[in-house]
Amino acid sequence: MGNKPSSLFVGRWQPFHKGHKKLIETVLKKGKSVVVAIRDTEVSDKDPYSTFERWTMIQNALKKYGDLVKIIVIPDIDEICYGREVGYNIRKIDLDEKTEKISGTGERILNSPGNPIVWLTGQSGAGKTTLARDLQEKLGAVVLDGDEMRKSISEGLGFSKDDRETHNLRVARLAKVLSKKSIVVVSVIAPFRKTRAKIDKIINPVWVYVKRDLKITKERPYEAPDRPDVVVDSDNENTNLQSIKVINFLKKNY
């Protein structure tokens, strides 16, 4: 890069995703160099990736730009301060009409025609809602929770097999609409294989089977999926590990 002026991008990059790449490429594609600063956050449930892992993500995503990209690590910060006439520009980059603001991550590009829909299936009490909220925090996803959906789009439906299917298909159609704007995480039991096959025809979600050793009863039926995309085990894995397994699948397939 020599001594030529560069554009500075600062972030946690937890994880470094397509929206981040698109944002930085608005500068790189003009032939200008960039400095990508990684905030040295401690590994936690909220920030699951180490500095080295994030460095690698950024390096792999932007490697085709070669020497135009410099990656540095800075101490964790909670604000950027500047005074008058600092000698450089501070600007917001608006990608296009298909972007939305995500607090703490700058701009996230919205895939068209839709983003991934992650459907967490598993028995009541398996830990679906807890995992869904963690994925919401990590991915900036919209969450459709089964109990909340029953109070809105499925108000009045019971728990017969037919009512359960009607409820599940309503949620699937809503998820399809919302996926045009964001990643969607569905936390709904979807206990029957035939219903899940119908859901596949509507949205073809990423099926995540949330396992837990719970008793199956007539009142709480459940047919385990034969070939889920991801299996997480609430008896043996904490929520952070479960989220990482789901995120890694998404990184490899989307």
C-alpha 176/C-alpha 170 separation (Å) is 10
3-class DSSP string for 66-92? HHHEEEEEEECCCCCCCCCCCCCCCCC
Asked if the structure places residue 92 within a domain, the reply is yes
Asked if the structure places residue 202 within a domain, the reply is yes
Q: Confirm if 143 and 136 have CB atoms less than 8 A apart.
A: yes
Structure tokens, 152: 């809105």
Instruction: Quote the pLDDT of residue 95.
Output: 62
Going from the C-alpha of 66 to that of each of 60, 134, 178, the distances in angstroms are 11, 35, 37
Q: Confirm if 187 and 210 have CB atoms less than 8 A apart.
A: no
For the chain (254 residues), the mean pLDDT of every run of 10, in chain order, is 79 88 91 94 82 90 93 90 71 55 31 75 96 93 93 92 96 92 94 96 95 92 94 96 93 82
Instruction: Quote the pLDDT of residue 112.
Output: 34
The structure's pTM equals 0.58
C-alpha 181/C-alpha 99 separation (Å) is 9
Q: Which of 45, 79, 102 is the last residue of a domain?
A: 102
How many domains is the chain built from?
A: 2
User: Going by C-beta distance under 8 Å and a sequence separation of 6 or more, which residues neighbour residue 28?
Assistant: 34, 62, 65, 68, 69
Instruction: Quote the pLDDT of residue 17.
Output: 87
Q: Hey, which residues does 108 pair with through a beta bridge?
A: 100
Instruction: Quote the pLDDT of residue 117.
Output: 95
Q: Kindly state whether residues 128 and 239 are assigned to the same domain.
A: yes
Asked if the structure places residue 1 within a domain, the reply is no
Structure tokens, 151: 């109070």
Asked if the structure places residue 2 within a domain, the reply is no
- The tokens 């596949």 sit on which residue? 200
Report phi then psi at 28, rounded to 5. Answer: -60, -35
Q: Confirm if 180 and 112 have CB atoms less than 8 A apart.
A: yes
Instruction: Quote the pLDDT of residue 87.
Output: 67
Instruction: Quote the pLDDT of residue 181.
Output: 84
Instruction: Quote the pLDDT of residue 170.
Output: 95
CATH code for position 223: 3.40.50.300
CATH code for position 86: 3.40.50.620
Domain, as residue range, for 89? 7-102
Within 10 angstroms of residue 204's Cβ, the number of other Cβ atoms is 13
